[in-house]
């Protein structure tokens, strides 16, 4: 019979995907599934999920601080100014994922983010797809977790139409899970109820 959750030494039941890695467990406990409404933070997570494509999330997570350093805290107004010399420097940095298409895609995304932020706010743009409230799933096993959904397909299609790169429906769904647009903690995980409670208020704006 498939285990739905892992019982940890602290007596808490958790989703199985972080295993027993303390670093990964902390991410699961403190960040994953928490509704995020800050536009800049949403930009950062979307970009990092794009860099994840073809890799594991733990790989990106372990490099996140270096990503933040070299990408100027993921401030779109700074990233949009990057030229060939900055791109070359990023491609030479072993502390990040050195993929030219993804680096250049980040610069494009920064420009698009600034346009959306000025018009309606990037956070509003994303959360409006859900009428400002997180979706609360009731998943019991990892087999119930979907790789993509009709909504992630819809958001992916819209992002691509605007010019964003590395925003396929699977990447977008992983993003939605991480930023709490959908609560995909298993129902027996102690964070399920906590994240559900955090999502009750909905988007503040």
DSSP assignment of 118-185 equals HHT-HHHHHHGGGTTS-EE----SGGG--S--HHHHHHHHHHHHHT-SS--HHHHHHHHHHTTSEE-S
CB of 179 closer than 8 Å to CB of 172? no
Please say whether the beta carbons of 152 and 169 come within 8 A. yes
Residue 10 has what DSSP assignment?
T
Q: DSSP secondary structure string, 61-120?
A: HHHHHHHHHHTGGG-HHHHTT--HHHHHHHHT-TTS---HHHHHHHHHHHHHHHHHHHHT
Positions at the binding site for Zn(2+): 15, 28, 185, 189
Annotated binding site: 15, 28, 185, 189
């Amino acid at each position: 019979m498939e285990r739905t959750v892992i019982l940890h030494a602290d007596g808490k039941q958790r989703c199985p995907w972080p295993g027993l890695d303390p670093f990964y467990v902390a991410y699961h406990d403190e960040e994953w599934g928490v509704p995020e409404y800050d536009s800049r933070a949403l930009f950062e997570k979307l970009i990092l999920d794009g860099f994840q494509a073809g890799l594991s999330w733990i790989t990106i997570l372990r490099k996140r601080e270096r990503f933040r350093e070299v990408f100027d805290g993921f401030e779109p107004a700074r990233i949009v100014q990057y030229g060939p010399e900055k791109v070359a420097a990023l491609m030479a940095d072993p502390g990040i994922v050195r993929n030219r298409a993804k680096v250049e895609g980040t610069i494009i995304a920064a420009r698009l983010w600034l346009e959306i932020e000025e018009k309606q706010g990037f956070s509003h743009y994303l959360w409006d797809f859900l009428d400002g409230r997180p979706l609360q799933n009731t998943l019991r096993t990892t087999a119930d977790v979907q790789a993509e959904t009709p909504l992630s397909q819809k958001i992916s299609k819209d992002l691509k139409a605007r010019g964003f790169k590395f925003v396929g429906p699977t990447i977008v769904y992983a993003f939605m899970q991480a930023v709490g647009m959908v609560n995909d903690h298993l129902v027996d995980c102690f964070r399920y109820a906590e994240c559900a409670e955090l999502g009750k208020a909905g988007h503040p704006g």
